[in-house]
Amino acid sequence: MEGESLPSRSYNHVAFKIVEADYATLLERVRSLGLDVREGRSRVAGEGRSIYFHDHDNHLFELHTGTLGERLQGYAAGKASEG
C-alpha cells in the first residue's frame, strides 16, 4: 500500500486467494515477518480458512483458501439440506 499509514485498524481489508496446501507455509512466513496475525473467524464447513494480518501501517490483509463463489455454493447447499 502506498501513502500515509492508517490512523487506526479496521476490518476493511484486501483478500488474496491461496491454495489449501500452502496455508501452513504462508502462516509461518507471515509470522516470521513479525506481523500482527489475527485469528480467523469461525467458519462453516466448506468455507475455507483465512490468515488475517496487519502490516506496519495498519492495513489488514487476508489470505484465504477459497473463493466467494465457493462460499456461496456452500451456503446454498447448507440451506437446501436444512429444508
Asked whether residue 73 is assigned to any structural domain, the reply reads yes
Establish if 59 belongs to a structural domain.
yes
Q: 25-52 burial by CB neighbour count: b if 16+ within 10 A, else e? A: eebeebeeeeeeeeeeeeeeeebbebbb
Tell me, yes or no, whether 30 lies in a domain.
yes
Residue 21: per-residue pLDDT: 95
The CATH number of the domain where 77 resides is what? Answer: 3.10.180.10
Task: Indicate the number of domains in the chain.
Answer: 1
29 in a structural domain: yes
In a domain, 68, yes or no: yes
**Amino acid found at 58:** N
Instruction: Kindly tell me the burial class for residue 64, based on how many C-beta atoms sit within 10 Å of its own C-beta (0-12, 13-18, 19 or more).
Output: buried
Kindly state whether residue 3 falls inside one of the protein's structural domains. Answer: no
Residue 63: per-residue pLDDT:
94
How much is the pTM?
Answer: 0.74
Q: Does 62 participate in catalysis according to the annotation?
A: yes
Domain that holds residue 49: 13-82
Instruction: Choose the catalytic residue: 39, 62, 70, 82.
Output: 62
In this prediction, residue 79 carries a pLDDT of 60
Residue range 8-60, pLDDT digits in tens: 888 788 899 999 999 999 999 999 999 989 876 666 666 788 999 998 888 89
